[in-house]
Structure 1
Amino acid sequence: MITEYKLEDAGREMLITVKRSSRKTLGLEVRENGEIFARIPEKLSDRSLKSFIEKERDWIIKKSELVKWEREHRQTTNATPVQELTSEEIENISQKIVDRVRFYQKKMGVTVGRVAIRNQKTRWGSCSAKGNLNFNYQIYYLPDELLDYVVVHELAHRRHMNHSDEFWREVEKYFPMYRQCRKRLKEIRLIN
């Protein structure tokens, strides 16, 4: 069974790591650091895997080029790497984020479970069905209005666990300039 696949493109070699699992679908992912993953069902044949990758060749190449361009041109959070933070800095980061959660939680009239500050690789924040909120520590380094947008976005999921029109109306009700902040946030990448 293949665990890696080498895709040739204009003299360069792109290494695709193959991850097999109990999933039923085939998927591709190009990470911010340029790593490429093919996620496939456990029993998929090597021949079917090769066929899938070759069929998606153009997408893989375009996505890899886009990721490379973004890595070189997009602004970062300029966050201090988490391993370099002191315990006092970590406490300050947590306190600021939790304070903003409490402020908007009260304003929006929603309840939350646990609030955790993490070093997430790809997300600014998330909200579980149980109401637990996770925030990337890097939002601390964003301008305050972007930090607040992320908080309101996750709290709005306490009423709508999707991105429906109702969800966005909820966000807008408490954070009218969300469109501008959402756009700005897409222009900033997380440090890894």
Structure 2
Amino acid sequence: MQLQATIKDMVIDYELIHRDVKNPRLEFKEGKLYLIVPHAHKDHEMIIHRHRRWIYNRYSRMQKLKDITRDVELVAERSVQELKEIVHSFIEKTGQELAVEPKRTGFRRMRTKWGSCSSKGNLNFNSYMRHLPDNMIEYIVFHEMVHLIELNHSQRFWNHIQKRFPDYKEYENMLAAYWSLIHDRYVAQSL
């Protein structure tokens, strides 16, 4: 059932879905809000009210990403092999800068992240990165290489990032915007 909620200055459309679930939950998927509740659940508006701050913040962020995506363009003509060469050059440069080296580097399609670093020192990168401009690829490589020093997202981790990328929050926002475009254009098509 399609419904609307007014939170502060926004009217937010959402879909109410009754399912065989124990507990109600809220989800944002592909820019849309879903409220999933047990079949017998009656007071869905209370859930919206109770989580209005979270909904508002998530929805606001999505709207900002939509605005950003109007100004970004994906790289269309880069092969995965070309991506690998770019990533390896950034790994070499960053490795010298941070005095670290990954044990192994892999590439695969990922649905939820740009890269990962294992506790064994192996790096994996999302092959969809081939659609990103070089400066975004460099940021992702640096981010994953810092994980060879700090395996979590602690304040120490972000301090390392900030030394090289003082505007790292802007990079994070841009990556979210790029992911939105890549998801719509490539990932959703392959599901």
Structure 1 length-normalised TM: 0.63
The aligned residue for residue 186 of structure 2 is none
Aligned mates of 1:105, 1:21 — CA distance in 2: 48
Q: How many angstroms does 1:155 deviate by?
A: 1.0
CA distance 1:171–1:34, change in 2 (3 Å):
closer
Aligned residues: 173
The aligned residue for residue 47 of structure 1 is 41
Query: Mean alpha-carbon deviation: is it higher for 163-172 or for 46-55?
Result: 46-55
Counterpart amino acid of 2:146?
A
The aligned residue for residue 148 of structure 1 is 138
Aligned mates of 2:146, 2:117 — CA distance in 1: 9
- 1:102 maps to 2:92: yes
Counterpart amino acid of 1:126?
S
- What is the percent sequence identity of the aligned residues? 21
Q: Let me know the Cα RMSD of the aligned residues.
A: 4.0
Contact 2:18 2:39 in 1 (8 A): no
Correspondent of 1:179 among 160, 166, 171:
166
- 1:71 maps to 2:71: no
CA distance 1:107–1:79, change in 2 (3 Å):
same
- 1:60 maps to 2:58: no
Flag structure 1 segments of 5+ consecutive residues without an equivalent: none
Aligned mates of 2:149, 2:36 — CA distance in 1: 32
Q: How many angstroms does 1:101 deviate by?
A: 1.9
Aligned mates of 1:120, 1:52 — CA distance in 2: 32
The aligned residue for residue 155 of structure 2 is 165
Q: How many angstroms does 1:178 deviate by?
A: 0.8
Counterpart amino acid of 2:5?
D
Counterpart amino acid of 2:87?
I
Task: Give a deviation string over 1:24-49, Cα, whole Å, max 9, x none.
Answer: x9764424x31335689xxx785388
Q: How many angstroms does 1:157 deviate by?
A: 0.9
- 1:8 maps to 2:4: yes
Task: Give a deviation string over 1:65-116, Cα, whole Å, max 9, x none.
Answer: 5414522443335133xxxx7xx81211122213322332354333424423
Contact 2:161 2:168 in 1 (8 A): no
User: 2:166 is paired with a residue of what secondary structure?
Assistant: helix
- 1:124 maps to 2:114: yes
Contact 2:14 2:35 in 1 (8 A): no
